[in-house]
Amino acid sequence: MGFVGYTDVIAEGDTAIVYLGYNAMMHLKLCHGALTQTKRGGLRHSDIIGKKYGCRISTLSDKGYVYLLQPTPELWTLNLRHRTQILYFADISFITLQLELKPGSVVVESGTGSGSVSHAFARTIAPDGHLHTFEFHEQRAEKAREDFKDHGISHLVTVTHRDVLENGFGIDLSVDAVFLDLPCPWRALPHARKILKTSGGKICSFSPCIEQVQRTSEDLRSLGFTDVSTFECLQRNYENRTVVLPYPTLGKKPGAESTSQLAQDAVAKDAGSLNDTKSGDRQGASTDCGETQEKSETDPDGADVSFEASEAKKPRLCESEKKENKLHYPIKCAVPWKEMPGHTGYLTFGTLYLLPNESGV
């Protein structure tokens, strides 16, 4: 199964990700004889076991089908049952990079929460690293343990039910990195310092509020950590659009010879052959300012399928542009979403370098 490596064939006991359509997924633990209802129709697990990951499979409804995806930490983050607030991969990937995690790393995490970060860490440190994760909510710790066992990563993760703010980590280890996602992270810093290696041990604390960041940064410095810095990861999504633009005349009047004539000829030729191509009803609707929007279609099952119109698009001009007789052509461009996913939290990092016999405080 795919949490730490890829396998081809879906086996009994695997957790597969069922892709139902754009933004619609669920996870399924496969068990011979079981039947799961989805909004695309029922799925018999016996029909799935033995098939290849990535395949499309029909449901028990007339025209329904779904895709079966290999589970990965990224897909798990999108599909897990939230027992707490969780971190998503924009933050997780940055944390992994900054903590310099790699195969063989030994990492400490608290709290475990829903295990979103833990799954990603486990994959990064496999096959011979180890994650020690601490959670003071007993049921959450137990559920995380079950998940790690189900997902074939329990040999990489030890879950401990413990209040790390009150009692510290209680392990006699020198670890490569510590990750904290706790309400008062500064209270865990002295405990973290005791278990971090002194030759460049890394720490990261995730906090939603800037006051938590201030307190954490001050305490990191007074405990002898260096390179203390804070980041915020904001995800910026882009959409593919076709936009019709006037060709630049570079200061010359349209029609006059210019250094760009060759390029203009090429575009004109291109436009000619594009216009000869059947553009049909997939052609995007042009706005007056020349923007051509990609259409999105709905498949017979209702799944959203957006596609890049493969047929050529005729440039459509607004009236003022037609009068000026400007040359236009369609270009593909990436347009950022007008609204971005907002603030999740701040990531504060520090590094512990101490010389032998140096206390750092």
The Cα-based distances of 107 to 4, 152, 163, 179, 358 in angstroms read: 16, 18, 17, 8, 23
Does 146 engage in binding with ligand SAM (CB under 6 A)?
no
When asked if residue 345 is in the footprint of ligand SAM (CB under 6 A), the reply is no
Count of CB atoms situated within 10 Å of the CB of 175:
20
Q: Is 59 in the site for ligand SAM (CB under 6 A)?
A: no
- Can you tell me which residue has the tokens 């860490």? 121
Determine if 84 is a binding residue for ligand SAM (CB under 6 A).
Answer: yes
Phi and psi (nearest 5°) for 145?
Answer: -60, -45
List the one residue out of 173, 180, 168, 164 whose CA is nearest residue 117.
Answer: 180
The helix (H) or strand (E) run that includes residue 219 is helix 210-222
User: DSSP labels for 254-302?
Assistant: TTS--TTHHHHHHHHHHHHHHHHS--GGGSPPBPTTSEEPPPEEE-TTS
- Which residue, 30 or 86, is less far from ligand SAM as judged by CB? 86
**Taking CB under 6 A as the rule, does residue 117 contact ligand SAM?**
yes
CA atoms within 13 A on the CB side of 355: 1
Task: Using alpha carbons, select from 125, 41, 97, 116 the residue that is nearest to residue 302.
Answer: 41
147 in contact with ligand SAM (CB under 6 A)? no
Site string for ligand SAM, 208-237 (x = CB under 6 A): ------------------------------
Tell me whether residue 48 or residue 157 sits nearer to ligand SAM (CB atom). Answer: 157
Please, are residues 215 and 73 in contact by the beta-carbon 8 Å criterion? no
* Closest distance of CB 115 from ligand SAM, Å: 5
Site membership for ligand SAM, residue 242 (CB under 6 A)? no
What is the end-to-end Cα distance of the chain in Å, rounded? 46
Cα(177)–Cα(192) distance, integer angstroms: 9
- Residue of 27, 39, 44, 137 interacting with ligand SAM (CB under 6 A): 137
Distance CA 200, CA 315 (A): 58
Q: Which residue is nearest to ligand SAM (CB)?
A: 111
Interface segment toward ligand SAM; rule CB under 6 A; list 25-33, 36-44, 54-62, 136-144: 136-144
Binding residues with ligand SAM: total (CB under 6 A): 22
Contact mark string toward ligand SAM, 86..115, x via CB under 6 A: xx----------------------xx-xxx
Residue 53 vs 179, nearer CB to ligand SAM: 179
Beta bridge partners of 304: 298
The stretch near ligand SAM (CB under 6 A) out of 42-50, 78-86, 148-156, 340-348 is 78-86
Residue 338 to residues 70, 220, 237, 333: CA-CA distances in angstroms?
Answer: 32, 37, 9, 15
Is 301 one of the binding residues for ligand SAM (CB under 6 A)?
A: no
**Binding flag, residue 158, ligand SAM (CB under 6 A):** no
Is residue 136 a contact residue for ligand SAM (CB under 6 A)?
Answer: yes
Part in contact with ligand SAM (CB under 6 A); list of ranges 131-139, 190-198, 313-321, 344-352: 131-139
Q: Which residue is listed with tokens 């601490």?
A: 134
* Piece of the chain touching ligand SAM by CB under 6 A; list 62-70, 83-91, 262-270, 323-331: 83-91
Q: Is the dihedral of CA 270, 273, 279, 282 positive or negative?
A: negative
Q: Minimal distance in Å, beta carbon 68 to ligand SAM?
A: 25
- Minimum Å gap between C-beta 297 and ligand SAM is 35
Task: For the segment 9-28, give every residue that binds ligand SAM (CB under 6 A).
Answer: none
Q: Which residues of the shown chain bind ligand SAM in the complex (CB under 6 A)? A: 84-87, 110-111, 113-117, 134-137, 140, 163-165, 181-183
